Amino acid sequence: MSEIVLSATPAHLRHGSNIGQPLTRRDGILKVTGGARFAADNHPPGMLYAVLAVSSVARGRVAALDVAAAKAHPGIVEIMTSANKPPLALDPDAKTNPFMRRLELLQNDRVRYANQPIAVVIAETLEAATEGAALLSPRYEEEAPRVRLDAAESFVPPAVGVGHPSEAEIGDVETGLAGSLRRIEATYETPTQFHNPMEPHAIVAAWDGDALTVDTPSQGLAMAQARIAELFGIPAENVLVRSPFLGGGFGCKGLFTGPQVLGIMAARLVGRPVKLVLRREQMFGPVGHRAPTQQTLRLGTDADGALLGLSHHTRTASSTFDDFFEPASDVSHTLYASPAIRTSYEAVRLDTGTPTFMRAPGEASGSIALESAIDEMAEACGMDPLAFRLRNYAELEPISGKPFSSKALRACYAEGAERFGWKARPLRPREMRDASGLLVGWGVGTATFPALMFQGQARAVIRKDGTGIVETGAQDMGQGAWTALAQIAADGLGLSMEQMEFRSGASNLPDAGIAGGSAHTATAGMAVAGAGADAIAKLAALATGDERSALFGAGNAGVIARDGRLFRRDDESRSESYADILNRAALAEIEGRGSSAADPIAQANYAMHAHGAVFAEVKVDPELGQIRVTRLVGAFAAGRIINPRLVRSQYYGGMIWGVSFALHEHGEIDPRSGRPMNPNLGEYHVPVNADIPSIEAILVAEEDRHVNALGIKGVGEIAITGTAGAVANAVWHATGRRIRRFPITLERLTEPAPR
């Protein structure tokens, strides 16, 4: 099967709009009953198993591999090394577009980071392949690794994020700070973080001559298809990428990775289908991560607490062989009004895998530093943190001077504060305790994320029985895209959900763009809506030009599509069913096509962002330093809401990740070997149920007429940006200790304060 077809179930939605309804997930039953087939669940006939052998050093070269010992092990079919790998049509270190990453595909014996693939063992069983990998017993010529931000000379990167300038400034920051009555300067450190979706990277690859079928988790099917075709020198139409289900992505599955390509190479080498699945510890290195940062913020205000200058400088890192620089300072472009703002960067090259997009790239790291600094500035001014944020509320985007396409942040502050009970918060820290004597603290953080949109396509068909099909190569990595997009599709065709099939999850469907940047619903949704509108327009042309139709001559007045019928807009008593129109025209079906792209005029004239405010309560043991988040309230404004149930789920996920960022999550890298020291879900700490309280997410009404025709903004990443800062600020309010190195751990909270 080349795509997943999901049928709808809710009979109560036969009338009225599907958009805005809190439908349950259309793929939910498949997942809870085990019917959902993820990439590694595929097992084509004759399939072999491949296991990566990875480097245990971070810098040097592989001096020797005991290939003979490994090949002698029962069940081993082949060992793929740099000596016998299949040829590629493109240098893996070449980059033909900015979204491409340089890949480690056994080019040579060099080791550029720990956990880099150095060989692939292919066997009849997974056990044999695993044992064969151990028997390779690699020997290295090792060099001292560079893995800390102070381990190499810094430089100014040519760009950060996706082509953003590494320096930006309005006004004169130094003059503004010099003229400020109150000033702060503080440096905040965020750690290396690793993507840990429940489903690791996996691939099942099967060649048939020069045709290739791969089952692999991908946030960008068409991009993966093009990358594979380019590497192997075959037409893109020869490559079928199937990704009906993703067990989480968070950015690491947005770009095709080295291990996935190695699986395809292994299948070509042995001439049989091959399955390769990364072990959990192998996710720490070859598939990207969030880079560490050191961020220095300088803020100054006048006597009334109005910002006069804001400087945000970030030091971050990329690998020695590729470029991706975490755009942490850029969050200061959009949130707070100041006549003078400067953002700047420096970077170092380290012996690590290349960083990549990780949920809210730049905004997550940058906002916890900015929101902490804003709180520190509010304290210096003797102001309530929320009042200080409102005092410096930006009516225009500060860095560009553009008006916002919409901005309901004031309503987010108001509704969130009211629900949380913020008015009862004492100004000074360490003034609240619960009945058991635990210190209680309340904090607030502002959430923001750009409202992005990429290019996408979709196809819609109305069949002669009155039912419809909508197809787009979209991805659902757990956010509910299949449900939300199906709702848009049904409305676009004027059908009930039961009358329509929604097909997705394969590269042989129209390209829906990448599921990233919180842009997937807007991108694919606009394409889907456009395809439906195109099909309806063609159907209407048939009817209004046919003298036998009740709609004849209604071309100028127009028609309305609803419940599988077309109605005259000026006289709804005159209507005709889709089936009657097509059958009379002797057509089996009628097809519409739709595409989507950001409006360059609107982008030039407006700043487009979603906004929110998160309020957090923590309780801290005054003697042990143990921290528990006990309450979270978030209020978010993100344009038109397609499915409030799914949107709340996304907000919950982001808020939980914000707690993780503030209190739990960090990769420990051994500075001697460069190896990750906690590459598993036991020691790489993320929150569990006991760490998370009841969470409330308020959906603040917002209409945006400029961001796109449907008024959709993304929700997948925004909630992490406000929550991490809110939790950090609540810890200060509870304890009076401002921890600037994240995550805030028991040890950091209880260590002696710096003099």
For the record, the structure tokens of 575 come out as 């209507």
What is the Cα–Cα distance from 233 to 230, expressed in whole angstroms? 5
- Hey, what amino acid is at 428? R
Q: What is the DSSP letter of 164?
A: B
Phi/psi of residue 631, each to 5°? Answer: -155, 135
What is the Cα–Cα distance from 139 to 424, expressed in whole angstroms? 64
What is the Cα–Cα distance from 76 to 458, expressed in whole angstroms? 45
- Hey, what amino acid is at 681? L
What is the Cα–Cα distance from 593 to 472, expressed in whole angstroms? 10
CB neighbour list of residue 263: distance below 8 Å, 6 or more residues apart: 50, 120, 203, 204, 205, 214, 216, 274, 275, 276
CA dist list (Å): 535 to 180, 560, 584: 61, 13, 17
Query: Quick count: other Cβ atoms within 10 Å of Cβ 677?
Result: 12
CB neighbour list of residue 240: distance below 8 Å, 6 or more residues apart: 2, 211, 212, 213, 214, 225, 506, 507, 508
Closest by alpha carbon to 456, among 468, 472, 477, 480?
472
Closest by alpha carbon to 301, among 207, 420, 178?
178
For the record, the structure tokens of 666 come out as 């960090």
Which SS3 state, helix, strand or coil, does residue 17 take? coil
Which SS3 state, helix, strand or coil, does residue 689 take? helix
User: 685 with 665: CB under 8 angstroms?
Assistant: yes
User: 735 with 749: CB under 8 angstroms?
Assistant: yes
User: 49 with 538: CB under 8 angstroms?
Assistant: no
Half-sphere exposure of 188 (CA within 13 A, CB side): 33
For the record, the structure tokens of 108 come out as 């040579």
Half-sphere exposure of 84 (CA within 13 A, CB side): 12
Which SS3 state, helix, strand or coil, does residue 420 take? helix
Residue with tokens 């200058």: 309
CA dist list (Å): 232 to 71, 92, 270: 27, 11, 16
Residues labelled catalytic: 717
Among positive and negative, which fits the CA dihedral 372, 377, 383, 388? Answer: negative
User: 533 with 592: CB under 8 angstroms?
Assistant: yes
What is the Cα–Cα distance from 199 to 301, expressed in whole angstroms? 48
Helix (H) or strand (E) holding 204: strand 202-208
Phi/psi of residue 337, each to 5°? Answer: -75, 130
DSSP one-letter string for 472-535: -B---SSS-HHHHHHHHHHHHHT--GGGEEEEESBTTSPB---S-TT-HHHHHHHHHHHHHHHH
CA dist list (Å): 708 to 480, 599, 712: 20, 7, 7
**Chain-centre distance of CA 737, in angstroms?**
32
Phi/psi of residue 681, each to 5°? Answer: -80, 0
The radius of gyration of the chain from alpha carbons, rounded to an integer in Å, stands at 27
Residue 743, preceding peptide bond in cis (omega within 30° of 0) = yes
Q: What is the DSSP letter of 752?
A: P
Which SS3 state, helix, strand or coil, does residue 63 take? strand
